[in-house]
């Protein structure tokens, strides 16, 4: 991220020079708009593959994602975005039947610059059935604090188990994580997680069902990826109960990613369902 910052600085200096010329005739509130416009131009310059750098703060943070690339339009213009605020009163109607079947699986561990992610290695059978569609687990990763809120409360972390069907449609299971007992399942992964961007040399083997509360009930809704390009048609299931990790484990993650969450998005016309 160093390169864009240097470029950003020089562009901002240019913008400041331009703005000060404009300021002679324009009121001061035009400043923010200028900054946003100049940033669009900056990213046009930076984007040679159509995918711009994004982050969780400042001018590449969530409120600007939609401006960073034409591929990220859904981040600002989408109408079914994630995460959302969940409420325990939203527990009336089931949207989809839900069946989870996980097994012991080998994962590679990656620091991808936005989170720590475990990618399924080789073939495995970790299925999520929503109605008649079968989705297979591809990866899981973490956010801190949580992205979804429950009765307006944030949790220390949230794990997203990302599944794909054979048409590449996505279904994500989100599990909220609270500070408490040490998480033995995550201990091995935490030992391996790379401090810098890249993949750990060793893999881990675990059963992802250990990351899911045994008395799993889920909120269900249609949403999106919570990172650019914020693509929609993602089927979300979010657990209403939590798993735990120790304060040391929380600290170890936050040393790398203290703030990798997207703020709550409008529910709009969507209805949240619930599976017991």
Binding site for Zn ion (CB under 5 A): 160
When CB distances to Zn ion are compared, the closest residue is 160
Residue 92 CB, nearest approach to Zn ion (Å)? 27
Tokens standing for residue 126: 């970790």
In angstroms, what is the minimal distance from the CB of 226 to Zn ion? 5
Nearer Cβ to Zn ion (67/147):
147
Nearer to Zn ion, 42 or 193 (CB): 193
- Residue among 95 and 160 whose Cβ is closer to Zn ion: 160
CB of 143 to Zn ion, least distance (A): 5
Smallest distance, Zn ion to C-beta of residue 230, A: 12
Comparison of 38 and 228: residue with beta carbon closer to Zn ion: 228
């Amino acid at each position: 991220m160093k390169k864009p910052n240097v470029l950003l600085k020089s562009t901002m200096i240019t913008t400041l020079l331009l703005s000060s010329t404009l300021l002679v005739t324009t009121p001061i509130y035009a400043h923010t708009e200028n900054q946003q416009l100049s940033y669009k131009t900056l990213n046009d310059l930076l984007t040679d593959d159509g995918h711009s750098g994004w982050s969780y703060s400042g001018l590449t943070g969530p409120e600007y994602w939609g401006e960073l690339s034409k591929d990220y339009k859904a981040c600002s213009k989408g109408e079914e975005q994630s995460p959302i605020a969940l409420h325990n009163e939203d527990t009336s109607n089931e949207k989809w039947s839900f069946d989870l079947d996980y097994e012991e699986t080998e994962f590679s561990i990656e620091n991808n610059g936005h989170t720590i992610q475990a990618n399924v290695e080789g073939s495995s059978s970790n299925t999520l059935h929503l109605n008649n569609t079968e989705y297979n687990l591809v990866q899981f990763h973490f956010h801190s604090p949580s992205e979804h809120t429950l009765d307006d409360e944030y949790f220390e972390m949230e794990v997203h188990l990302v599944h794909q069907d054979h048409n590449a449609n996505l279904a994500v299971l989100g599990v909220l994580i609270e500070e408490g007992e040490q998480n033995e399942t995550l201990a091995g992964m935490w030992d391996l997680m790379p401090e810098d961007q890249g993949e750990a040399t060793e893999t881990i083997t675990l059963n992802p069902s250990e990351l899911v509360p045994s008395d799993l009930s889920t909120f269900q809704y249609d949403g999106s990826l919570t990172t650019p390009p914020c693509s929609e048609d993602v089927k979300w299931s979010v657990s209403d109960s939590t798993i735990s990790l120790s304060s040391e484990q929380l600290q170890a993650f936050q040393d790398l990613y203290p703030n990798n969450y997207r703020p709550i998005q409008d529910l709009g016309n969507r209805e949240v369902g619930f599976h017991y």
